[in-house]
Amino acid sequence: MWIASVAATMALLLSSSLAHALPSRAPAGPFLQELGNETWVIGNDIWNMTQGRQYGVKLFYGGHDCVGDAVGHYVSYNGAQSDLNWTSASIEKEGTYRDTQYIDVKFVAREGDMHWVIFSGLAGAYQYFVNRDLPVLGEFRTLWRLDNATFTHGKTGLHDEALPPLSDYRPENKVQDETWLKPDGSGGYLTKYDLTDWIRTQTYYGVYGEQFGSWYINAGKDYYNGNHLKQELMVHRESKTGDAVQLNMIHGTHFQVSAVDEFPEGKMWGPWLWYLNDGSREDAAQRAIDEFVTWPYAWFEDEAYQRRGSVRGQLRLSDGRPATHAAVFLGDNGGNKTALDMGSDYYYTGYADAEGRFEFRNVRAATYGLQAWSNGSETADVTTEYRRKDVVVTAGETTDLETMTWRVSDKTKIFQVGDFDRTSDGFAHGGAPYEHGLVEKCPADLHFTAGVSLTEDWCFGQSKRGSWFISFSLEKSPPPLPEAGHAQSKGSNSHSYSTGVSSRVWANDVVIGNLTSGTAPGLLNDPSLYRSATTAGEWRYFEFPFDAGTVLRKGVNEIRFEVTSNTTWRGFMWDSVVLEW
């Protein structure tokens, strides 16, 4: 190890077949050394890593190899099917920032370049990737797979717990993708998806033990795909080898129908900070605070990265109300992708204040599309969304969109179950900690009376065969329309959907629609419900118009969601159900 004495260094390095090629003493600052045979060593006076054609196979820090028998560091896309192969390495830039020396080391692959910005005295490095020829893809990631005896715990914003021992992953107990019955006979499940977290709100995460910690701090998040509700894997136990996994899913699809994107040449992910310490979560949290304060990084001399401006405005609903606490999103300027599915360029998320005002700061100079939707609270009844194209952001300037009118429905609402906020919050089990199979606690049959039942009487997910009823009363029959038959009612609902479940939608004794794969346009599989999600998935909106005068009547009526066929753990995760005419 190059951070102690020469004797200690040689004792550690002689255990490697590459020991004879390494220098006899540590370089004074950040360095890149080529060992030949497509192998390099990078680091500084605190840590160093041996990088091969695919994997960073040795990571020495504090007198210890943190990789051990694990795989190490690598970059890949579309799962583990395509690991990048590094063909060369060089110091692209070296300089000084605030009297501290640094180098920018570039590893070159056919698909693009992985950079490590190494500062003297920093335990870790800033990393970023620049696209050259990545294919159209869904998953793109960098990650560490580290020694499981050294890194025993995983930490995210929602989780802080010991990683399960490899012995708990018994083949005979496997029930689905990366999910096993616990061997203790409790009936509980063991799955990496329970350790999922929200991308846009995470501050720091990683794996740690009694003496060592390895952390990712992504202060800037504009390079991620998706919107406010983008959720992804961050830490877990590798079920085949037992490696402790620290996953940097910078373009992910684990909880979406699809997020397949084509990237422009030069698209940059990062920089983010990979940070090493003695396992202290408090130290990592403080480092994250420092990183967020200094983002975007002044030391990063990239013209496009530094060219940033601001956007502000105010959203007011067409009925006169402010769009209180609405979710606001800057994304692609056009196209038919949802905000969650966007991912080829750069994206910004935020929330309006009580008066509907919002501001995005440090936005890359470009032209964007603006979207907004209800985040619950005072706008929980708003079923529409706001869209505006051609929002131009100019470097060094503030684009003021002033007051914008958001058109809301002018129909008469008969009832609403749950807030329109694209989440299951408020329902039974909605928003619970990630837990595999939680939907099994929701009933097969459910009766809800509008105006009487509470929101929590509705369950967050429907999976079992049976019927969920919403009873409601009308004081009079629907009014006739001039020169037409009867008023048209519109039943609408919003949720995520996992294939394998079919549902018929009834108004009284008339089928007004169905929800099943293969028959409803765009009703494709979203794995969220069977991958431990309890709050959100791929949000989708469905309307079922019907002739109210023929179907509805004065007195008690019913809307019914009947599951006619099912698959365990699959089905619907609810956001809201509304009936209006």
Instruction: Give the pLDDT confidence of 78-137 residue by residue, as tens digits.
Output: 876 799 999 999 999 999 999 999 999 999 999 999 999 999 999 999 999 999 999 999
Q: What Å distances lie between residue 544 and 506, 516, 517, 566, CA to CA?
A: 10, 14, 17, 22
82-86, long-range: CB < 8 A, 24+ apart: 83/54, 83/55, 84/54, 84/109, 84/110, 84/111, 84/112, 84/114, 85/53, 85/54, 85/109, 85/110, 86/38, 86/51, 86/52, 86/53, 86/54, 86/114
**In this predicted model, what pLDDT tens digit does every residue of 30-73 receive, in sequence order?**
999 999 999 999 999 999 999 999 999 999 999 999 999 999 99
Domain of 313: which CATH number? 2.60.40.10
pLDDT in the model for residue 522: 57
Check if the beta carbon of residue 105 is closer than 8 Å to that of residue 89: yes
For 314, the 3-state DSSP assignment is strand
Q: Does 1 reside within a domain? A: no
**Reported confidence tier of residue 524, pLDDT bands at 50, 70, 90:** confident
pLDDT in the model for residue 494: 73
pLDDT in the model for residue 80: 66
Q: Does 545 reside within a domain? A: yes
**Reported confidence tier of residue 264, pLDDT bands at 50, 70, 90:** very high
Give how far the C-alpha of residue 358 lies from the chain's centroid of Cα atoms, to the nearest Å: 22
Q: Does 149 reside within a domain? A: yes
As a whole number, mean pLDDT of residues 6-26 equals 34
**Whether residue 388 is found in the same domain as residue 450:** no
**In this predicted model, what pLDDT tens digit does every residue of 153-212 receive, in sequence order?**
999 999 999 999 999 999 999 999 999 999 999 999 999 999 999 999 999 999 999 999
**Whether residue 261 is found in the same domain as residue 314:** no
**Whether residue 388 is found in the same domain as residue 432:** no
**Whether residue 454 is found in the same domain as residue 560:** yes
Of the candidates 223, 222, 394, the residue with the CA atom closest to the CA atom of residue 307: 394
C-alpha torsion angle, residues 276, 279, 285, 291 (rounded to 10): 0
Residue where a domain terminates, one of 372, 406, 440: 406
**Reported confidence tier of residue 482, pLDDT bands at 50, 70, 90:** very low
Percent of the chain with pLDDT over 90: 84
pLDDT in the model for residue 516: 85
For residue 364, what is the DSSP state? E
pLDDT in the model for residue 232: 97
| Amino acid at the residue 555 | G
**Reported confidence tier of residue 12, pLDDT bands at 50, 70, 90:** very low
**Reported confidence tier of residue 483, pLDDT bands at 50, 70, 90:** very low
* The model scores a pTM over 0.75: yes
C-alpha torsion angle, residues 20, 26, 27, 29 (rounded to 10): 140
**Whether residue 400 is found in the same domain as residue 420:** no
pLDDT in the model for residue 14: 27
**Reported confidence tier of residue 519, pLDDT bands at 50, 70, 90:** low
Domain of 459: which CATH number? 2.60.120.260
User: For 327-346, b where at least 16 C-beta lie within 10 A, e where not — what string?
Assistant: bbbbbbbeeebbbbbbbbbb
**Whether residue 113 is found in the same domain as residue 259:** yes
Residue-range definition of the domain harbouring residue 529: 413-580
Q: Does 364 reside within a domain? A: yes
**Whether residue 434 is found in the same domain as residue 342:** no
Higher-confidence residue: 201 or 518? 201
**Whether residue 311 is found in the same domain as residue 301:** no
Cβ-proximal residues to 383 (8 Å cutoff; 6+ apart), any chain = 374, 408, 409, 420, 492, 541, 576, 578
Q: Does 350 reside within a domain? A: yes
Check if the beta carbon of residue 197 is closer than 8 Å to that of residue 230: no
As a whole number, mean pLDDT of residues 214-235 equals 98
Domain of 290: which CATH number? 2.70.98.10
4 pLDDT more than 60 = no
**Whether residue 337 is found in the same domain as residue 385:** yes
**Whether residue 297 is found in the same domain as residue 365:** no
Q: Taking all residues of the chain, what is their mean pLDDT, rounded to a whole number?
A: 92
pLDDT in the model for residue 496: 84
Q: Does 284 reside within a domain? A: yes
**In this predicted model, what pLDDT tens digit does every residue of 340-394 receive, in sequence order?**
999 999 999 999 999 999 999 999 999 999 999 999 989 999 999 999 999 999 9
**Whether residue 128 is found in the same domain as residue 167:** yes
Q: What Å distances lie between residue 395 and 173, 300, 309, 359, 481, CA to CA?
A: 56, 16, 5, 15, 54
Check if the beta carbon of residue 2 is closer than 8 Å to that of residue 44: no
- Specify the number of domains making up the chain: 3
pLDDT in the model for residue 354: 98
**Whether residue 455 is found in the same domain as residue 564:** yes
Q: Does 426 reside within a domain? A: yes
Percent of the chain with pLDDT over 70: 92
10 pLDDT more than 50 = no
493 pLDDT more than 80 = no
Residue where a domain terminates, one of 265, 283, 305: 305
Residue where a domain terminates, one of 263, 287, 305: 305
Q: Does 395 reside within a domain? A: yes
